[in-house]
Amino acid sequence: MKFWQIENLCLESALEQIELASSTLLSLLEKNGITDSDLVFTLRLVLHEALSNAIIHGNQEDKNKKVFLRLMLNEDRIVLEVEDEGNGFNYEERQRDEEVDLLHDGGRGLIILESLLDELVFKDNGKRVIMTKYLNRGK
Amino acid sequence: MNVEITEKRRENGLLSIFLEGEITYVNSNGVKNQIRSLMDEEIKMLVLDLGGVPFMDSAGIGVIVSLLKEMHVRGGKIALAGIQPNVGKVFWITKLDKVLPIYETREEAESAMHVSTVNNGFINLSTN
């Protein structure tokens, strides 16, 4: 697997679409012999969190807006890129807010992304998130 | 994507249920409502056996937090059991393992609930 394998999906702003994205990810991993259950669980979890952030907070579940997902896999890493059509958000500010309440109803997505990924980069005012997981090392 | 919920025990204010299936953003509201529909006013101790849950995202965590708050409002308690290792990771990352009692088996959780309730003295359990 010397070159990048890439899957692109354009999703509606509906939470049901997470299942479609999740299936696409699982199929890409399986096709490439990535079966480690811990890694597969982690990748699926970060995908769910990033997509739900994009659909709920980014696009506010507006059916006229799309979420763009790109899955990129090569021999040493997988990169998941999620982009929404919302107004973006201040990543640093959100981080500070989330440190407060363990029993808040939501807001755990970013904590999960930060804990499990090897690299997490927000671009375009928070509308695009690029998440990298190395396949043979890291968290 | 359905979650099957099986009632395992209901007695003396205790409701113990087994969940089977994934809990995610897609079905979390349905799962929460299903569990709530089983919780009549007498329920003061809720045990959730997650032994049949192989995957959960933060929406699943949200369901449990919501039930925890509801039990607190009733003056009751909640405990979890049977959590699979990968799912346990989600609890650990979100630090909910610090605020929720977690047991290996449903039976242990049920016993612990009864013991702590008797010790707190707010419910008299029948010995029948």
pLDDT tens digits for A48-85?
999 999 999 999 999 999 999 999 999 999 999 999 99
Q: What is the mean pLDDT of residues A120-132?
A: 95
In tens, the pLDDT along B17-74 reads 999 999 999 999 999 999 999 999 999 999 999 999 999 999 999 999 999 999 999 9
A66 touches chain B (CB under 8 A): no
| Residue A119 Cα distances to A77, A93, A129, B68, angstroms | 11, 19, 10, 33
Asked whether residue B126 is assigned to any structural domain, the reply reads no
Residue A103 is predicted with a pLDDT of 72
Asked whether residue B70 is assigned to any structural domain, the reply reads yes
Residue A98 is predicted with a pLDDT of 55
CATH number for the domain including B107? Answer: 3.30.750.24
Residue B114 is predicted with a pLDDT of 78
Residue A102 is predicted with a pLDDT of 67
Q: How many CB atoms lie within 10 A of CB B73?
A: 8
Asked whether residue B36 is assigned to any structural domain, the reply reads yes
Structural domains of chain A, with CATH: 5-134 (3.30.565.10)
Structure confidence at residue A108 as a pLDDT band (50, 70, 90): confident
A7 to chain B, minimum CA–CA distance in Å? 22
* Option in A15, A41, A112 nearest B93 (CB): A112
| Residue B31 Cα distances to A27, A68, A79, B24, angstroms | 27, 28, 31, 9
Are B13 and B42 a contacting pair, CB within 8 Å? yes
Q: What is the mean pLDDT of residues B3-14?
A: 95
Greater model confidence, B128 or A79 = A79
For B56, the domain range is: 4-120
Q: Do A112 and B90 touch (CB under 8 A)?
A: yes
Asked whether residue B93 is assigned to any structural domain, the reply reads yes
B29 to chain A, minimum CA–CA distance in Å? 12
Reported ipTM: 0.88
Give one DSSP letter per residue of chain B, joined into a string: ---EEEEEEEETTEEEEEEES-B-TTTHHHHHHHHHHH--TT--EEEEEEEE---B-HHHHHHHHHHHHHHHHTT-EEEEE---HHHHHHHHHTTGGGTS-EESSHHHHHHHHHHHHHHHTSSPPP--
Q: How far is CA A56 from the centre of its chain?
A: 13
Q: How many domains, chain B?
A: 1
Sign of CA dihedral B25, B60, A56, A48: negative
